[in-house]
Amino acid sequence: SAILARAMGIPAVLSVSGAVEALHTGQCVAVDGFRGTVLPEPTPEQTAEFKRRQREYLAEREALSRYCNLPTVTKNGVKKAVYGNIGKPEDVQSVVQNGGEGIGLFRTEFLFMDRMSRPTEAEQFEAYATVAKAMNGREVIIRTLDIGGDKEIPYLEIEKEDNPFLGHRAIRYCLDHPDLFCDQIRAILRAAKFGDLKLMLPLITCKEEILAAKKLIEQCLRELIEAGEDVHPVPVGIMVETPAAALTAAELAKEADFFSIGTNDLTGYVMAVDRGNQAVARLYDPMQPAVLSAIEMTIKAAKAAGIPVGMCGEGAADPRLIPHLLAWGLDEFSVSASSILKTRKMISEE
Point out which residues bind ligand PEP (CB under 6 A). 105, 107, 146, 241, 262-265, 312-313
Task: Tell me: does residue 265 bind Mg ion (CB under 5 A).
Answer: yes
Q: How far is the CB of 313 from ligand PEP (least distance, A)?
A: 3
Candidates 3-11, 111-119, 261-269, 285-293; binding stretch for Mg ion (CB under 5 A): 261-269
Q: Which is nearer to ligand PEP, 73 or 206 (CB)?
A: 206
What span, in angstroms and rounded, lies between the C-alpha atoms of 183 and 106? Answer: 17
Size of the site for Mg ion (CB under 5 A): 3
Q: Select from Mg ion, ligand PEP, none the partner in contact with residue 100, using the beta carbon and a kind-dependent cut-off of 5 to 8 Å.
A: none
Q: Which is nearer to Mg ion, 30 or 200 (CB)?
A: 200
Q: Which is nearer to ligand PEP, 128 or 269 (CB)?
A: 269
Residue 82: beta bridge partners? 333
Q: Which is nearer to ligand PEP, 133 or 275 (CB)?
A: 275
Q: Select from ligand PEP, Mg ion, none the partner in contact with residue 312, using the beta carbon and a kind-dependent cut-off of 5 to 8 Å.
A: ligand PEP
Rg of the chain (C-alpha set): 21
Q: How far is the CB of 265 from Mg ion (least distance, A)?
A: 4
Burial tier of 112 (Cβ tally within 10 Å: 0-12, 13-18, 19+): buried
DSSP 69-132: TS--B-TT--B-EEEEEESSGGGHHHHHHTT-SSEEEEETHHHHSSSSSPPPHHHHHHHHHHHH
Does residue 161 come out as left (phi exceeding 0), alpha (psi in the -120 to 50 range) or beta?
beta
N-terminal to C-terminal alpha carbon distance within the chain: 31
Q: Select from ligand PEP, Mg ion, none the partner in contact with residue 104, using the beta carbon and a kind-dependent cut-off of 5 to 8 Å.
A: none
What span, in angstroms and rounded, lies between the C-alpha atoms of 312 and 335? Answer: 6
Burial tier of 130 (Cβ tally within 10 Å: 0-12, 13-18, 19+): middle
Q: Which is nearer to ligand PEP, 231 or 236 (CB)?
A: 236
Q: How far is the CB of 67 from Mg ion (least distance, A)?
A: 27
Candidates 73-81, 88-96, 239-247, 302-310; binding stretch for Mg ion (CB under 5 A): 239-247
Q: Which is nearer to ligand PEP, 312 or 330 (CB)?
A: 312
- Contact 81/332 with Cβ under 8 angstroms? yes
- Contact 265/275 with Cβ under 8 angstroms? yes
Which of residues 87, 195, 262, 315 is near Mg ion by CB under 5 A? 262
Q: Select from ligand PEP, Mg ion, none the partner in contact with residue 139, using the beta carbon and a kind-dependent cut-off of 5 to 8 Å.
A: none
What span, in angstroms and rounded, lies between the C-alpha atoms of 146 and 152? Answer: 10
Q: How far is the CB of 241 from ligand PEP (least distance, A)?
A: 5
Q: What is the enclosing helix (H) or strand (E) of 86? A: strand 81-86
Q: Select from Mg ion, ligand PEP, none the partner in contact with residue 107, using the beta carbon and a kind-dependent cut-off of 5 to 8 Å.
A: ligand PEP
325-348 residues labelled b (16+ CB within 10 A) or e (exposed): bbebebbbbbbbbbbbbbbbbbbb
Q: Which is nearer to ligand PEP, 169 or 190 (CB)?
A: 169
Q: Which is nearer to ligand PEP, 30 or 314 (CB)?
A: 314
Q: How far is the CB of 129 from ligand PEP (least distance, A)?
A: 22
| Residues that bind Mg ion in the complex, under the rule CB under 5 A | 241, 262, 265
